[in-house]
Structure 1
Amino acid sequence: MKLNQFVIIGLGRFGSNLGRELVRLGYEVLGVDRDEEKVQELSNVLTHTIVADATEEEVLRSVGARNFDCGVVAIGDDIQASILATILLKELGVKKVVAKAVSDLHGRVLERMGVDRIIYPERDMGVRVAHQLVSPNLLDYIELSKKYTIAELAVPQCWSGKSLEDVDLRGKFGCSIVAINKPQGMIIAPAAKDVLSTEDVMVVIGTNDQIEQCQESFDSGE
């Protein structure tokens, strides 16, 4: 299902940046916050903004929250308000509900409420930066689940000029190269005969252990 309309509850740093990027990508965004100053700041950026308390059911009904494809609860400083707003979005039948969690406990509560996706911005960014700092070949790192990861890896010098068949990433580590970002464009589902160069970025998917073994091999120059 393609999502076109988003309602974001909470226009702090996370919510406002999320809204800005969604609008930049061409989507419609309604921003809701109790803070008039935050709403005013984004009034000319988001598609619509409203000063309101999203923990009140009538407020969400009046703005037509149930008609949005996705509701994002981006409240970070008030866990009670975050939970209440999330409950209301679920009860109103919003197709997809995403919520920001500020702690593991907060996340567990949201999970039990049936939230479609839980985001831990500070924790996730910390993990990504840590991996980038200790592995020079790792350009980006996203944990898809507790078991699987997708990573962007720079091609090491020793692989330049070799085909995917030659490097045999799946045979060595069990992970797969699902795309190659070359200067001339992205190759999705590359073939075994596709050749790598040091200018390329590989998009690799596998278990956390497989990705870690692959990184260690790159760092050691194997």
Structure 2
Amino acid sequence: MQILVTGLGRFGSSLARTLAETGHEVIVLDTSEQAVQMATNVVDQAVVGDATNEAVLREVGATDVDLAVVAMAEVEASVLITTHLKNLKVPRVFAKASSEVHRLILERVGADRVVFPERDMALRLAQSVSTPGMLDYLELLPHLGITEIDGTPFAGQSLANLNLAARYDVNVLVIKRGNELIVTPGLSERVVEGDMLIVVGRDSRIAELQTAAG
């Protein structure tokens, strides 16, 4: 499958890497030269460019892809990119939302699927409170998912010390600490007892992390 990923933040970069490692042909597009350079050896094509420009999307081959993922959370940019992709007749467009209003707008402009991790995981958690450890698994794409795991076994350690990206190729998107959500936590953030870690990665690597978490 040929997939275009626009936006190389933490979520987009991890998504692109995972898709490439599972055999998909991946094109990435971002305005950051540094982010694109880091992706060059991972994906099939890495391009510096503004995805909000429809001409740029055409130039990178958006009209030929099977799926496009709008991975940035900025409302205006993601809505505009989604609109362009639908105008270019991309068969499927997935987009990440940062709020309920954002989701509604994305759906209105034609997004085929809106990924809203915090809301989706809350719903899944409510349905699976009886499952210890890995509370649930939300599939985003084949072999890729967002998972909520118990962070208590890692209590006292910083994300830098845990180094989950290097050890498991898994990234922490959110830490749920009681009623608080720490979105895209920094590497200096320490896990405390009772934390829930919302992570994204390949299902096989998430399974390894689940085993390590006990």
Shorter-chain TM-score range: 0.5 to 0.7
Equivalent positions of 1:20-35 (< 5 A) are: 20-35=17-32
Residue 61 in structure 1 maps to residue 63 in structure 2: no
Once residues 57 and 34 of structure 1 are traced to their aligned partners in structure 2, the CA distance between those partners, rounded to angstroms, is 14
- Report the Cα offset of residue 113 of structure 1: 1.4
8 A Cα contact 1:131 1:141, kept in partner: no
Q: Identity, % of aligned pairs?
A: 49
Structure 2: which amino acid aligns with 1:81?
Answer: A
Equivalent positions of 1:165-184 (< 5 A) are: none
Residue 47 in structure 1 maps to residue 44 in structure 2: yes
Structure 2: which amino acid aligns with 1:93?
Answer: K
TM normalised by structure 2 equals 0.59
Distance 1:125 1:64, change over 3 A: same
Deviations 1:65-88, CA, capped at 9 Å, x for gaps: 010000110011x21111111100
| Counterpart pick for 2:87 among 73, 77, 91 | 91
- Report the Cα offset of residue 16 of structure 1: 0.9
Equivalent positions of 1:48-127 (< 5 A) are: 48-76=45-73, 78-127=74-123
- Report the Cα offset of residue 63 of structure 1: 1.2
Q: Answer 1 or 2: higher relative contact order, Cα 8 Å, separation at least 6.
A: 2
Matched residue SS, 2:23: coil
Aligned residues: 140
- Report the Cα offset of residue 98 of structure 1: 0.6
Residue 5 in structure 1 maps to residue 2 in structure 2: yes
Distance 1:40 1:82, change over 3 A: same
Once residues 13 and 93 of structure 1 are traced to their aligned partners in structure 2, the CA distance between those partners, rounded to angstroms, is 27
TM normalised by structure 1 equals 0.57
8 A Cα contact 1:7 1:29, kept in partner: yes
Distance 1:124 1:51, change over 3 A: same
Once residues 139 and 54 of structure 2 are traced to their aligned partners in structure 1, the CA distance between those partners, rounded to angstroms, is 34
Distance 1:83 1:137, change over 3 A: closer
Once residues 142 and 79 of structure 1 are traced to their aligned partners in structure 2, the CA distance between those partners, rounded to angstroms, is 23
Once residues 69 and 143 of structure 1 are traced to their aligned partners in structure 2, the CA distance between those partners, rounded to angstroms, is 18
Matched residue SS, 2:51: coil
Once residues 42 and 138 of structure 2 are traced to their aligned partners in structure 1, the CA distance between those partners, rounded to angstroms, is 28
Please, which runs of 5 or more residues in structure 2 have no aligned partner?
141-214
Give the aligned CA root-mean-square deviation in angstroms.
2.4
8 A Cα contact 2:83 2:110, kept in partner: no
Please, which runs of 5 or more residues in structure 1 have no aligned partner?
145-222
Once residues 10 and 143 of structure 1 are traced to their aligned partners in structure 2, the CA distance between those partners, rounded to angstroms, is 20
8 A Cα contact 1:10 1:32, kept in partner: yes
Deviations 1:17-40, CA, capped at 9 Å, x for gaps: 111111111000000001111111
Higher-Rg member (1/2):
1
